Structures are given as C-alpha cells and as structure tokens.
C-alpha cells in the first residue's frame, strides 16, 4: 500500500517565503485581485474563497488546462495566454488591481521532460510578462505558486533554507520564476510571497469534480468503484512495504494560508 499523510500543520510543506516587507491580504476591506490560472483546480477554489470574503476578482486563464465551467459569473474573466503581453496589458488597463495571485503554469513533471522548452516558456517567460506589466502599472504585490520540486531530493524535512536542486524541468522552471521575483523585489520594490508546496487535494467547495485532474485520490476512488486494480509503482523505498510516502495538503488549508 502507499502511505498517504494528511496533516494540516506540516510546516516543511506549508512554509511561505516573504521578502522586503510583509505582504498581507487585507481582511478588513475589499481588494481588487487578479488571479492567473483562475479556472484551474487550485485557482477556481481560490477565486470562490476570495469572492466569499468580499474581494473583487479578475481572472485570466488560457483554458488550456482550465475549465469553462469554473468561470464564476461574479468575476471579470479574460481568456488570455499569460505570454501575450498586449493581452495582459489590456487587463491591467481596464481594471484596478491591488494584488496578483499567480497560479498559471504547466505542472506535469513527467510531461516537463518531454517538452522542457514549453515549460520554460510558460512558467518563466509567462511570469516575466506578468511582472513586467505589473511594474508598468505600478502593481507591486504578488503571491506566487511554486513547488517543493525545487528542493534537493535527498532532503527530508525541508525549510526555506534547504538546498534548492530541482531534478526535473518543471521544478527548474519554478525556481527560475522565484529568481525573477527576487530580482523584482530587489530592484523594483516588489513585495512577494512564494508557496513551495507538495500535493494539494480536496476541494473548498462541494460539487467540484476531480475527474479531470491528475491526482492519486480520485484515481484510487475510481478504481474502487470500477473494481479495477490500482497499481502503485516503486517497491524499494525505505518503508515497511517498500512503497513511497507522499505528503498532501487539503485545499481548505492551502487557501487559508493565502488569506
């Protein structure tokens, strides 16, 4: 069996990095927040939470991986690729924006080995476009969705000071994105927070389907329902049965950390 851990307080997974000032979402007043990738699995849950807390939300999503069904009618929605600088400028020109939450990215580790140039283009150049336009319109606050894949795989419990040594193009692209943020903080006065997290599961809203997402939990449940065998790869890990240990964060906890 594969050991699954669900722990609300796994500090090593749930850490944030804050540089050059404290970035806080204003709970006491309405903010105008741009959510990139707002129609994806995590983005759609975040959008609903922000709306519930009284914020104005603008969503940009290419819908390559996002879903049309995820578009909340209470948001201002733009179907744009984050690499299209003119399209992003149009969004900033037409809306007041106080803060950007960036979830737009390619995230499949296995796929990143097949098309590494696409991962660098979307995850690094796309972020570069967002930051450039933010600077043009004097929007200096951003929350960036990174990954624990930036860490050295030999690390056990990790902290913000742990060695970053990604072993796949996906992790590399996210670490490059963090370095871009560091540049904009040092030289452009940006304030940012980075979340380096592992696997997010669950939903903050009943009714969201996981069928379209690559996650072990819905796959297990589907195999149980269908009666098909569920195969777990790997049998040489230092565990009781040789299978790996995977850590997970529930969506509600993930969203709470952002707010």
Q: Which residues form the catalytic set? A: 170
Positive or negative torsion for Cα 53, 54, 56, 61:
positive
Contact between 64 and 112 under an 8 Å Cβ cutoff? The reply is no
Q: Which of helix, strand or coil describes residue 119?
A: helix
Range list of H helices, 121-244: 126-136, 169-188, 216-226
Cβ-based neighbours of 41, under 8 Å, separated by 6 or more? 200, 210, 213
Q: Which residue has the tokens 């933010």?
A: 134
Name the burial class of residue 30, with classes exposed (0-12), middle (13-18) and buried (19+) by CB atoms within 10 angstroms of its CB: exposed
Cβ-based neighbours of 118, under 8 Å, separated by 6 or more? 106
User: Between vectors from CA 119 to CA 115 and to CA 124, what angle results, nearest 5°?
Assistant: 155
Q: Which of helix, strand or coil describes residue 169?
A: helix
User: Between vectors from CA 78 to CA 72 and to CA 81, what angle results, nearest 5°?
Assistant: 125
Token pair listed for 165: 């040594």
How many beta carbons lie within 10 A of that of residue 234, not counting itself? 10
User: For 105, which DSSP code?
Assistant: -
């Amino acid at each position: 069996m594969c050991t699954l851990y669900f722990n609300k307080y796994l500090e090593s997974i749930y850490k944030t990095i804050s540089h050059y000032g404290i970035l806080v979402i204003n709970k006491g007043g309405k903010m105008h927040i741009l959510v990139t990738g707002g129609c994806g699995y995590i983005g759609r849950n975040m959008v609903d939470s922000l709306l519930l807390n009284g914020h104005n939300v603008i969503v940009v999503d290419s819908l390559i991986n996002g879903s049309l069904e995820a578009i909340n009618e209470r948001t201002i929605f733009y179907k744009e690729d984050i690499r299209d600088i003119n399209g992003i400028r149009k969004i900033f020109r037409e809306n007041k924006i106080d803060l950007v939450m960036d979830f737009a990215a390619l995230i499949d580790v296995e796929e990143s080995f097949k098309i590494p140039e696409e991962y660098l283009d979307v995850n690094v150049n796309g972020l570069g476009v967002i930051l450039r336009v933010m600077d043009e319109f004097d929007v200096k606050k951003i929350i960036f969705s990174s990954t624990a894949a930036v860490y050295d795989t030999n690390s056990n419990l990790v902290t913000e000071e742990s060695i970053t040594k990604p072993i796949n193009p996906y992790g590399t692209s996210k670490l490059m994105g963090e370095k871009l943020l560091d540049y904009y903080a040092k030289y452009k006065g940006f304030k940012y927070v980075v979340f380096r997290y592992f696997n997010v599961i669950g939903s903050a809203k009943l009714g969201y389907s996981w069928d379209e997402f690559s996650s072990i939990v819905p796959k297990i449940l589907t195999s149980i329902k269908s009666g098909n065998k569920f195969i777990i790869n790997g049998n040489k890990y230092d565990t009781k049965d040789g299978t790996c240990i995977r850590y997970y964060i529930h969506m509600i906890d993930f969203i709470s950390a952002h707010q």
